[in-house]
Amino acid sequence: MWQTHCIETARGRFEVFKRGAGPPLCVTHLYSAFDASGDLFADCFTTHRTVYLINLRGAGGSQAPGEPHDLSMDVAAEDLEAIRAALGYAQWDFAGHSTGGMLGLLYAETRGGALRSLVAVGAAASRHYADTPQCIYHPEHPAFQNMQDLIEALKSDDLDVAERRRLAQERTKLSLHQPTRYAEYFPPHVTKRICAPRLDYYAREDFPRFDLRGRLENCKVQALIACGRHDVQCPLPFSREIADLMPRARLALFEESNHYPFLEEPIAFDAAVQRFFRETR
Protein backbone atom coordinates (compact mmCIF):
# COMPACT_ATOMS: atom_id res chain seq x y z
CA MET A 1 0.00 0.00 0.00
CA TRP A 2 1.04 3.59 -0.58
CA GLN A 3 1.49 6.04 2.30
CA THR A 4 -1.39 8.53 2.48
CA HIS A 5 -0.64 12.20 3.16
CA CYS A 6 -2.76 15.34 3.28
CA ILE A 7 -0.64 18.23 2.03
CA GLU A 8 -1.60 21.75 3.06
CA THR A 9 -0.71 24.25 0.34
CA ALA A 10 -1.34 27.91 -0.42
CA ARG A 11 -4.12 26.70 -2.71
CA GLY A 12 -5.82 24.25 -0.36
CA ARG A 13 -5.44 20.69 0.89
CA PHE A 14 -4.52 17.82 -1.43
CA GLU A 15 -4.50 14.07 -0.93
CA VAL A 16 -1.14 12.61 -1.93
CA PHE A 17 0.12 9.03 -1.89
CA LYS A 18 3.85 8.38 -1.51
CA ARG A 19 6.04 5.41 -2.33
CA GLY A 20 9.56 4.61 -3.50
CA ALA A 21 13.05 6.01 -3.06
CA GLY A 22 15.18 8.52 -4.92
CA PRO A 23 14.62 11.99 -6.38
CA PRO A 24 11.00 13.25 -6.30
CA LEU A 25 8.61 12.47 -9.15
CA CYS A 26 4.99 13.58 -9.52
CA VAL A 27 2.37 11.31 -11.10
CA THR A 28 -1.26 12.20 -11.68
CA HIS A 29 -4.09 11.71 -14.15
CA LEU A 30 -6.59 14.31 -15.20
CA TYR A 31 -9.72 12.44 -14.08
CA SER A 32 -8.69 9.54 -11.85
CA ALA A 33 -9.42 9.30 -8.14
CA PHE A 34 -6.58 7.34 -6.53
CA ASP A 35 -6.48 5.64 -3.15
CA ALA A 36 -3.85 3.88 -1.03
CA SER A 37 -3.87 0.91 -3.42
CA GLY A 38 -1.88 3.12 -5.78
CA ASP A 39 -1.62 3.03 -9.54
CA LEU A 40 0.09 0.59 -11.90
CA PHE A 41 1.66 3.37 -13.97
CA ALA A 42 3.04 5.11 -10.88
CA ASP A 43 4.38 1.78 -9.60
CA CYS A 44 6.76 1.66 -12.57
CA PHE A 45 8.79 4.56 -11.19
CA THR A 46 9.09 3.63 -7.52
CA THR A 47 12.43 1.82 -7.99
CA HIS A 48 13.95 5.00 -9.49
CA ARG A 49 12.13 7.83 -7.71
CA THR A 50 10.20 8.86 -4.63
CA VAL A 51 6.80 9.00 -6.29
CA TYR A 52 4.02 11.37 -5.25
CA LEU A 53 0.70 10.16 -6.66
CA ILE A 54 -1.66 13.11 -6.52
CA ASN A 55 -5.43 13.40 -6.42
CA LEU A 56 -6.25 16.60 -8.25
CA ARG A 57 -8.85 19.09 -7.05
CA GLY A 58 -12.21 17.38 -6.65
CA ALA A 59 -10.79 13.84 -6.68
CA GLY A 60 -10.62 11.62 -3.59
CA GLY A 61 -9.82 13.58 -0.44
CA SER A 62 -8.39 16.62 -2.23
CA GLN A 63 -9.68 20.19 -2.14
CA ALA A 64 -13.21 20.51 -3.51
CA PRO A 65 -13.72 22.83 -6.47
CA GLY A 66 -15.23 26.22 -5.64
CA GLU A 67 -16.34 26.81 -9.23
CA PRO A 68 -16.36 24.73 -12.44
CA HIS A 69 -13.11 26.22 -13.75
CA ASP A 70 -11.31 24.73 -10.74
CA LEU A 71 -11.45 21.40 -12.59
CA SER A 72 -9.48 22.75 -15.56
CA MET A 73 -6.03 21.68 -16.73
CA ASP A 74 -4.71 25.19 -16.10
CA VAL A 75 -5.79 25.12 -12.45
CA ALA A 76 -4.37 21.59 -12.10
CA ALA A 77 -0.94 22.86 -13.22
CA GLU A 78 -1.13 25.69 -10.66
CA ASP A 79 -2.11 23.21 -7.96
CA LEU A 80 0.81 20.92 -8.82
CA GLU A 81 3.14 23.87 -8.35
CA ALA A 82 1.61 24.59 -4.95
CA ILE A 83 2.07 20.96 -3.91
CA ARG A 84 5.70 20.94 -5.07
CA ALA A 85 6.37 24.09 -3.08
CA ALA A 86 4.64 22.71 0.02
CA LEU A 87 6.77 19.56 -0.18
CA GLY A 88 9.88 21.74 -0.25
CA TYR A 89 11.29 20.75 -3.64
CA ALA A 90 12.91 23.25 -6.01
CA GLN A 91 12.28 20.81 -8.88
CA TRP A 92 10.83 17.38 -9.49
CA ASP A 93 10.19 15.03 -12.40
CA PHE A 94 6.72 14.45 -13.83
CA ALA A 95 5.26 11.31 -15.40
CA GLY A 96 1.78 11.07 -16.89
CA HIS A 97 -0.18 8.51 -18.88
CA SER A 98 -2.89 9.48 -21.38
CA THR A 99 -4.54 12.71 -20.19
CA GLY A 100 -1.99 12.69 -17.39
CA GLY A 101 0.64 13.02 -20.10
CA MET A 102 -1.31 15.85 -21.73
CA LEU A 103 -1.40 17.66 -18.41
CA GLY A 104 2.34 17.02 -18.13
CA LEU A 105 2.91 18.74 -21.48
CA LEU A 106 0.94 21.78 -20.32
CA TYR A 107 2.82 21.79 -17.01
CA ALA A 108 6.18 21.58 -18.78
CA GLU A 109 5.30 24.31 -21.28
CA THR A 110 3.98 26.78 -18.71
CA ARG A 111 6.18 26.00 -15.68
CA GLY A 112 9.18 24.21 -17.14
CA GLY A 113 11.57 25.55 -14.51
CA ALA A 114 9.88 23.31 -11.95
CA LEU A 115 10.60 20.15 -13.95
CA ARG A 116 13.86 18.29 -14.33
CA SER A 117 12.26 15.93 -16.84
CA LEU A 118 8.94 14.74 -18.25
CA VAL A 119 7.73 11.25 -19.17
CA ALA A 120 4.52 11.29 -21.25
CA VAL A 121 3.00 7.97 -22.29
CA GLY A 122 0.16 7.57 -24.80
CA ALA A 123 -0.45 11.31 -24.98
CA ALA A 124 -1.08 14.04 -27.56
CA ALA A 125 -0.32 17.74 -27.97
CA SER A 126 -3.81 18.67 -29.16
CA ARG A 127 -7.43 17.57 -29.28
CA HIS A 128 -6.93 16.40 -32.86
CA TYR A 129 -5.98 12.90 -31.73
CA ALA A 130 -9.74 12.25 -31.82
CA ASP A 131 -10.07 13.43 -35.43
CA THR A 132 -8.75 10.22 -36.95
CA PRO A 133 -10.80 7.00 -37.31
CA GLN A 134 -7.81 5.13 -35.85
CA CYS A 135 -8.75 6.69 -32.50
CA ILE A 136 -11.36 4.89 -30.42
CA TYR A 137 -12.94 8.26 -29.57
CA HIS A 138 -13.76 8.91 -33.23
CA PRO A 139 -17.34 7.96 -34.22
CA GLU A 140 -16.09 5.88 -37.16
CA HIS A 141 -13.96 3.63 -34.96
CA PRO A 142 -15.69 0.23 -34.65
CA ALA A 143 -15.43 0.24 -30.85
CA PHE A 144 -16.49 3.88 -30.39
CA GLN A 145 -19.99 3.28 -29.05
CA ASN A 146 -18.89 0.45 -26.78
CA MET A 147 -16.26 2.70 -25.25
CA GLN A 148 -18.74 5.54 -24.74
CA ASP A 149 -21.27 3.24 -23.08
CA LEU A 150 -18.67 1.83 -20.70
CA ILE A 151 -17.38 5.27 -19.71
CA GLU A 152 -20.89 6.50 -18.92
CA ALA A 153 -21.66 3.37 -16.90
CA LEU A 154 -18.48 3.74 -14.84
CA LYS A 155 -19.43 7.28 -13.81
CA SER A 156 -22.22 5.92 -11.62
CA ASP A 157 -21.77 5.93 -7.85
CA ASP A 158 -24.32 3.13 -7.48
CA LEU A 159 -22.25 0.27 -8.90
CA ASP A 160 -21.27 -2.54 -6.59
CA VAL A 161 -17.61 -3.55 -6.51
CA ALA A 162 -18.01 -6.58 -8.77
CA GLU A 163 -19.94 -4.72 -11.47
CA ARG A 164 -17.55 -1.77 -11.41
CA ARG A 165 -14.63 -4.15 -11.81
CA ARG A 166 -16.32 -5.95 -14.72
CA LEU A 167 -17.08 -2.71 -16.57
CA ALA A 168 -13.58 -1.34 -15.98
CA GLN A 169 -12.10 -4.56 -17.30
CA GLU A 170 -14.18 -4.42 -20.49
CA ARG A 171 -13.24 -0.78 -21.03
CA THR A 172 -9.53 -1.43 -20.56
CA LYS A 173 -9.52 -4.46 -22.85
CA LEU A 174 -10.47 -2.18 -25.73
CA SER A 175 -7.05 -0.53 -25.40
CA LEU A 176 -4.86 -3.65 -25.12
CA HIS A 177 -2.92 -5.22 -27.98
CA GLN A 178 -3.67 -8.65 -26.47
CA PRO A 179 -6.93 -8.32 -24.50
CA THR A 180 -6.81 -11.96 -23.35
CA ARG A 181 -3.83 -11.04 -21.16
CA TYR A 182 -5.84 -8.55 -19.11
CA ALA A 183 -5.61 -10.56 -15.87
CA GLU A 184 -1.84 -10.79 -16.26
CA TYR A 185 -1.50 -7.03 -16.71
CA PHE A 186 -4.00 -5.81 -14.13
CA PRO A 187 -3.90 -7.37 -10.66
CA PRO A 188 -7.11 -6.77 -8.70
CA HIS A 189 -5.57 -4.90 -5.76
CA VAL A 190 -5.62 -1.47 -7.48
CA THR A 191 -9.01 0.17 -6.88
CA LYS A 192 -8.71 3.67 -8.36
CA ARG A 193 -11.88 5.11 -9.93
CA ILE A 194 -12.98 7.62 -12.54
CA CYS A 195 -13.68 11.06 -11.08
CA ALA A 196 -16.83 11.83 -13.10
CA PRO A 197 -16.93 15.62 -12.57
CA ARG A 198 -13.34 15.98 -13.75
CA LEU A 199 -13.95 13.77 -16.80
CA ASP A 200 -17.10 15.70 -17.70
CA TYR A 201 -15.29 19.03 -17.40
CA TYR A 202 -12.44 17.80 -19.60
CA ALA A 203 -14.85 16.60 -22.30
CA ARG A 204 -16.97 19.75 -22.17
CA GLU A 205 -14.39 22.51 -21.62
CA ASP A 206 -10.72 21.50 -21.82
CA PHE A 207 -10.82 19.08 -24.74
CA PRO A 208 -12.36 21.48 -27.30
CA ARG A 209 -9.62 24.05 -26.58
CA PHE A 210 -6.65 21.78 -26.02
CA ASP A 211 -3.84 22.58 -28.47
CA LEU A 212 -0.21 23.06 -27.38
CA ARG A 213 1.34 22.49 -30.80
CA GLY A 214 2.34 26.11 -31.37
CA ARG A 215 3.91 26.38 -27.91
CA LEU A 216 5.98 23.24 -27.41
CA GLU A 217 8.87 24.37 -29.60
CA ASN A 218 9.82 26.78 -26.82
CA CYS A 219 9.69 24.13 -24.09
CA LYS A 220 13.21 23.21 -22.96
CA VAL A 221 12.28 20.37 -20.59
CA GLN A 222 13.92 17.04 -21.41
CA ALA A 223 11.15 14.60 -22.27
CA LEU A 224 10.62 10.92 -22.96
CA ILE A 225 7.56 10.46 -25.19
CA ALA A 226 6.46 6.82 -25.12
CA CYS A 227 3.77 5.15 -27.22
CA GLY A 228 2.59 1.72 -28.27
CA ARG A 229 2.45 1.15 -32.01
CA HIS A 230 -1.16 -0.01 -31.74
CA ASP A 231 -2.45 2.75 -29.41
CA VAL A 232 -6.16 3.33 -30.11
CA GLN A 233 -6.65 6.18 -27.65
CA CYS A 234 -3.81 8.50 -28.74
CA PRO A 235 -2.49 6.92 -31.95
CA LEU A 236 1.24 6.84 -32.61
CA PRO A 237 1.40 9.84 -35.04
CA PHE A 238 0.45 12.13 -32.15
CA SER A 239 3.37 10.97 -29.99
CA ARG A 240 5.67 11.41 -32.99
CA GLU A 241 4.31 14.94 -33.31
CA ILE A 242 5.15 15.75 -29.69
CA ALA A 243 8.69 14.41 -30.07
CA ASP A 244 9.16 16.45 -33.25
CA LEU A 245 7.87 19.64 -31.64
CA MET A 246 9.80 19.55 -28.37
CA PRO A 247 13.50 20.35 -28.92
CA ARG A 248 14.72 18.08 -26.09
CA ALA A 249 12.30 15.17 -26.52
CA ARG A 250 12.93 11.63 -27.66
CA LEU A 251 10.40 9.00 -28.80
CA ALA A 252 10.26 5.50 -27.35
CA LEU A 253 8.17 3.16 -29.53
CA PHE A 254 6.80 -0.15 -28.22
CA GLU A 255 5.98 -2.54 -31.04
CA GLU A 256 3.76 -4.98 -29.13
CA SER A 257 1.71 -2.47 -27.16
CA ASN A 258 -1.52 -0.56 -27.39
CA HIS A 259 -2.25 2.16 -24.80
CA TYR A 260 -0.41 0.52 -21.87
CA PRO A 261 3.24 -0.14 -22.89
CA PHE A 262 4.35 0.00 -19.25
CA LEU A 263 2.24 -3.15 -18.65
CA GLU A 264 2.30 -4.76 -22.08
CA GLU A 265 6.10 -4.52 -22.44
CA PRO A 266 7.27 -3.82 -18.89
CA ILE A 267 10.91 -4.86 -19.31
CA ALA A 268 11.42 -2.72 -22.41
CA PHE A 269 9.54 0.17 -20.81
CA ASP A 270 11.61 0.07 -17.64
CA ALA A 271 14.82 -0.06 -19.67
CA ALA A 272 13.77 3.00 -21.67
CA VAL A 273 12.88 4.93 -18.50
CA GLN A 274 16.11 3.99 -16.71
CA ARG A 275 18.17 5.01 -19.75
CA PHE A 276 16.31 8.30 -19.98
CA PHE A 277 16.82 9.11 -16.30
CA ARG A 278 20.54 8.22 -16.51
CA GLU A 279 21.06 10.47 -19.52
CA THR A 280 19.13 13.39 -18.06
CA ARG A 281 20.61 13.19 -14.56
CATH assignment at residue 180: 3.40.50.1820
The whole-number pLDDT of residue 95 equals 98
List, for residues 163-219, the tens digit of each pLDDT value.
988 999 999 999 999 999 999 999 888 999 999 999 999 999 999 999 999 999 999
Overall size of the chain counted in residues: 281
* Alpha-carbon torsion (249, 25, 230, 139), positive or negative: negative
Number of domains in the chain: 1
Give me the domain span that covers residue 10.
Answer: 3-280
Whether residue 179 contacts residue 143, with contact meaning beta carbons closer than 8 Å, is answered with no
According to DSSP, the residues that pair with 19 across neighbouring strands are: 51
User: What is the pLDDT averaged over residues 101-126?
Assistant: 97
The answer to whether the predicted template modeling score (pTM) of the entire model surpasses 0.85 is: yes
List, for residues 19-43, the tens digit of each pLDDT value.
999 999 999 999 999 999 999 999 9
